[in-house]
Amino acid sequence: MHDAALLLIEVGAVLLGLSLLSRFADKIGISAIPLYLIAGLAFGVGGFAPLDAGNEFFRFGSELGVILLLAMLGLEYSPTELITSLKRSRLAGILDAVLNALPGAACALILGWGPIAAVALAGITWVSSSGVIAKVLRDLRRLGNRETPTILSILVIEDLAMAFYLPVLSALVIGAGFLAGATALVVAVLVVVVILYVALRHGKVISRLFAAHHPESLLLGVLGLTMLVAGVAQQVNVSAAVGAFLVGIALSGRVAHNSQQLLAPLRDLFAAVFFVFFGLSTEPASILPVLLPAAILAVVTIATKTLTGYRAAAAAGIGIPGRWRTGFALTPRGEFSIVIAGLAAGSGIEPRLAPLATAYVLLTVVAGPLLARMTDTAWFRRLLAARGTRAATIAQSVDGH
């Protein structure tokens, strides 16, 4: 068969399958990410129906998927929101980083994977999935809840922290050593500060490059600039994803709003391709041996994430049920963990990292939203109420003596 024809057939069939999966995920109320990953596993190396001609498409599409995921994230937040969140939830952000990155790092060291894999796994367990969590909050109609700003602030800080973390990891995985990692960090900090400053003070200047009301030129222009900056960033080892994120932040106002709507379908397409590709390049058989560490890591980091959220909500003056809602809502890991794992796996520092990350994300992304729903159930409320009365009784008896 002709190569181009084969490519169209393979890619078409996969996309068609993904559409069904996405619909199914929506129906049963979960994120489509785990299903995309499983689909990738099924079609990949050692899967039951390996793809062949479509591989190049999926490779490039997945690069684009990462860039679009990050660019959209940058577009979503205004520079003011980033600064305010940073000011208000700095402590929660630090606690979040310490509590959730350390278990990952420790796990990699215990498994004897070395310091670079430890940095990668720390990132994988640290960052929650903004995409999955935003969807859960919407689905459970919690956007109006008083704890929601706390949840969102933590997500904003994590996403901003990625702008510093990813360049360091990129420098480390190409074997440039810790000194180069430190240089990358300094460069990233400077670039992010400059971009934030420009976006805050002169956001209109960058946005003026584009015509907000001309969809076609806006789409091509923003996509072009994003890819260009991502490419340049990659070239100087600051990670393409971070370049894209910064373009997103630098754009503001109507240009940002309109390009968000224009890029959303592209993001959906290529992000799906990215998750499938990640699954494709992971051998299903390699998951089994790392299933136990992944499960232990999932349990531990779900607990630490819940603690993070609980403490952050408590500091924001939220009541006990709201603290549990905050904690559980933050537990799903998703797109970012896969982005990090992809970055680390691509350079081949540890072959077992990608399967572990796959299993880990599959576990948390399914368990997280279920835990988030649990706080709405009658028995959980009864449990909290019972604990509340018991605590009150104890307090009373203490007062009495």
Partner 1 sequence: MSVRVEKVDLPGIGTRHDVITKKGRRIGVVSHRSGERELALFGVEDPDEAIDSIALTDDEAAALADVLGASLMLGQLAGIREQAAGLFTEQLLISAGSPYAGEVLGATKARTRTHTSIVAIVRGADVIPSPTPDSPLQAGDTIIAVGTRPGLDALARVLTDG
Q: Whose Cβ is closer to partner 1: residue 23's or residue 257's?
A: 257
Closest approach of Cβ 65 to partner 1, in Å?
A: 20
Q: How many other CB atoms are there within 10 angstroms of residue 390's CB atom? A: 10
Length of the chain: 401
The smaller minimum CB distance to partner 1, of residues 59 and 208, is found at 208
Residue closer to partner 1 by CB (options 170, 306) is: 306
Contacts of range 255-260, beta carbons closer than 8 Å, 24 or more positions apart: 255/207, 255/210, 255/212, 255/218, 255/222, 256/75, 256/78, 256/207, 257/212, 258/212, 258/213, 258/215, 258/218, 259/75, 259/210, 259/218, 259/219, 259/222, 260/72, 260/75, 260/76
Based on CB atoms, which residue is closest to partner 1, 122 or 318?
A: 318
Name the minimum Å distance from CB 212 to partner 1. Answer: 8
CA dihedral (282, 286, 287, 293) in degrees, to 10, reads -120
Residues that bind partner 1 (CB under 8 A): 76-77, 81-82, 84-85, 130, 134, 141-149, 152-153, 155-156, 253-254, 257, 318-319, 321-322, 325
Give the Cα separation of 307 and 266 in Å (integer): 36
Kindly state the tokens that stand for 295: 């499960």
What's the min distance (Å) between Cβ of 147 and partner 1? 6
Q: How far is the CB of 148 from partner 1 (least distance, A)?
A: 6
DSSP annotation of 238 reads S
**Beta carbon of residue 111, minimum distance to partner 1 (angstroms, whole number):** 35
- Nearest distance from C-beta of residue 137 to partner 1, angstroms: 9
Q: Tell me the C-alpha distance between 373 and 285, whole Å.
A: 32
Residue 142 vs 333, nearer CB to partner 1: 142
Indicate the residue among 307 and 320 with the shorter CB distance to partner 1: 320
